[in-house]
Structure formats: C-alpha cells, structure tokens
C-alpha cells in the first residue's frame, strides 16, 4: 500500500507544503506578537513619539493599551464608553 499511497498522494505534495508553510508563518507571527522584547521596543517607540510631541496623551494611552492587550491576549474594546467600569480602557475618574 505504501507505493500506491505515494503515487496517489504525490499530486497533493505541493498543497501539503503550502499548508505547512502557512502553519510555520502563523507560529512565527504568534511568537512575535507575544514576545515581551518586541512589546518593550514598541512601548519605547511610543514613549519617544510622545516625548517628541507627535502623540497626544490620549493617543499615547491608546497605543500603550493596544500593545499591552496584544501581549496579554486581551481583546481591545475600540469604544472606551462601552468598556467595563474599572477596566484600563475606561477611565471613570477625571
């Protein structure tokens, strides 16, 4: 049966290769998304932009929160008004 499987399965080899390549790319992306060193670099870049006056305080907070949410795996709530009270996305205090 091994020979028959090899002959009949040969046309599917390129498809299996593409699927495996996609899996490898996905693993790399997930590893990079949750890498603390990458998050630190992004946070430092945000700080540099804010210090240079390129970001407002609100923009800085939003950018930092996006990075932290991505690293921790928490979904981001795009509308701060619908965020749960006490959550980092919503500030109940002025």
pLDDT at res. 36: 87
Q: How would you write the pLDDT of the chain (94 residues) with one tens digit per residue?
A: 588 888 888 888 899 999 999 999 999 998 888 888 999 999 999 999 999 999 999 999 999 999 989 888 777 665 555 555 555 554 444 4
pLDDT at res. 83: 53
Tell me the pTM.
0.53
Among 55, 52, 54, 78, smallest CA distance to 65 is for 78
- The SS3 call for residue 34 is coil
Determine the straight-line distance between the first and last CA of the chain, rounded to whole angstroms. Answer: 73
Residue 62 near residue 91 (C-beta atoms within 8 A) = no
Residue 2 near residue 41 (C-beta atoms within 8 A) = no
pLDDT at res. 92: 46
pLDDT at res. 4: 85
**Distance in angstroms (rounded) separating the CA atoms of residues 3 and 1:** 6
CA 50 to mean position of chain CA atoms = 22
pLDDT at res. 66: 92
pLDDT at res. 25: 96
**Distance in angstroms (rounded) separating the CA atoms of residues 90 and 86:** 7
């Amino acid at each position: 049966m091994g020979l028959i499987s090899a002959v009949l399965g040969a046309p599917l080899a390129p498809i299996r290769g593409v699927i495996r390549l996609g899996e490898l790319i996905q693993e790399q992306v997930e590893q990079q998304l949750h890498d603390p060193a990458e998050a630190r670099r992004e946070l430092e870049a945000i700080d540099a932009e804010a210090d240079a006056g390129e970001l407002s305080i609100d923009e800085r907070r939003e950018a930092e929160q996006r990075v932290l949410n991505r690293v921790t795996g928490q979904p981001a709530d795009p509308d701060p008004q619908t965020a749960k009270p006490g959550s980092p996305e919503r500030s109940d205090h002025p």
